[in-house]
Amino acid sequence: MPHPDRNYPSASMRIPTLADLLDVQELDSQIDRLLERRQSLPELERFKNEHESGQRLEEELEEARAELKQIELDLDKAEGELEMLEAKLEEHETRLFAGGMSARETEHMRLEVQSLRGQKDAREERVLAMLEEIDPVRQRVTDLESELATVNERKAELERAIKEEWRKIDAEIARKEERKTEAASPVSEDLMDLYDKLRRIKEGVAIASYDHGVCGGCHMALSPAEEEEAFSDEIPRCAHCRRILVA
């Protein structure tokens, strides 16, 4: 407290307004804490993690779908080529078994049929290999789709929880803002301007109580001379941190 024997000008006119401003500061501090709580909900971190997991799964799913599509295209092409080869082989076999050709034509047709059968066997093996290859990829796509759906469900639940918490916090902030407006009504515009400026540069604390020679803002003691100089001004300011002081 300022020394009781010292005569500080306009103290009786000053104290009520500064006390009101101290109430404003307390409400602003409460609002700051609510805003900080709004931005640091544990659900927000969990939502972020789920969102990142979802993005990773979407990338993996996109790659798996692209791989599956390519295999399906290749399989369709291989099956089509096999069907054409089978049709050609059947045609050549029919001509070979029908007879009516010269010995030279018959030998040529026999060799052609033999070649087509070899090609057919090779194409069949290729198609079988692709069928074995496509099943695991299809299963991977299904698994990734299921996992992504589960992640999206968790995200939706978290989003609902976050919105509900934000609704409660915003309602509390609105009540604090209303009380702040009432508390600030007796404070002059110039003093509020100074308060707002100090709030921006003093980590949200512009005014502090002065008790037993110590500033409640920076927690540093004022010498008797510093105290006298501070409280001789219309708006007392800490000699160290320049915050407004309220005795």
- Name the one residue in this structure whose structure tokens are 């800490």: 238
106 versus 75: which is more confidently predicted? Answer: 75
Compute and round to an integer the Cα radius of gyration of the chain: 42
Query: Which of 18, 37, 39 has its CA nearest to residue 29?
Result: 37
Residue 209 φ then ψ, to 5°: -75, 150
Nearest to 235 by CA among 29, 3, 22, 26: 22
Q: 98 pLDDT exceeds 90?
A: no
User: What is the domain partition of the chain in residue ranges?
Assistant: 1-39+188-247, 41-175
Q: Are 186 and 14 in contact (CB under 8 A)?
A: no
- Among 6-20, 72-86, 166-180, 209-223, the range scoring the smallest mean pLDDT is 6-20
Statement: residue 85 has pLDDT above 90: no
- Rounded average pLDDT over 119-145: 92
Distance CA 14, CA 194 (A): 15
Closest by alpha carbon to 243, among 225, 223, 219? 219
Measure Cα distances from 76 to 62, 69, 80, 126, 127 in Å.
Answer: 21, 10, 6, 12, 9
Q: What is the pLDDT of residue 15?
A: 52
Share of the chain above pLDDT 90, in %: 68
Instruction: Examine the pLDDT at 1 and tell me if it is beyond 60.
Output: no
Q: What is the pTM of this model?
A: 0.69
Cβ distance 24 to 210 under 8 Å? no
Q: Which of 6-20, 121-135, 164-178, 233-247 has the lowest mean pLDDT?
A: 6-20
Residue of 168, 158, 187, 157 whose CA lies nearest to 21 = 187
pLDDT tens-digit readout, 145-198? 999 999 999 999 999 999 999 999 999 999 999 999 999 999 999 999 999 999
> Given this structure, which CATH class describes domain 41-175?
mainly alpha
- If you average pLDDT over residues 120-136, what whole number do you get? 89
Looking at the predicted structure, is the pLDDT value of residue 211 above 90? yes
Q: Check pLDDT > 80 for residue 136.
A: yes
pLDDT at residue 130 greater than cutoff 60: yes
- Mean model confidence pLDDT for the chain: 90
Residue 197 tokens, joined: 């400026």
Q: What is the pLDDT of residues 33-84, one digit of tens each?
A: 999 999 999 999 999 999 999 999 999 999 999 999 999 999 999 889 888 9
* Burial of 82 (C-beta count, 10 Å sphere; 0-12/13-18/19+): middle
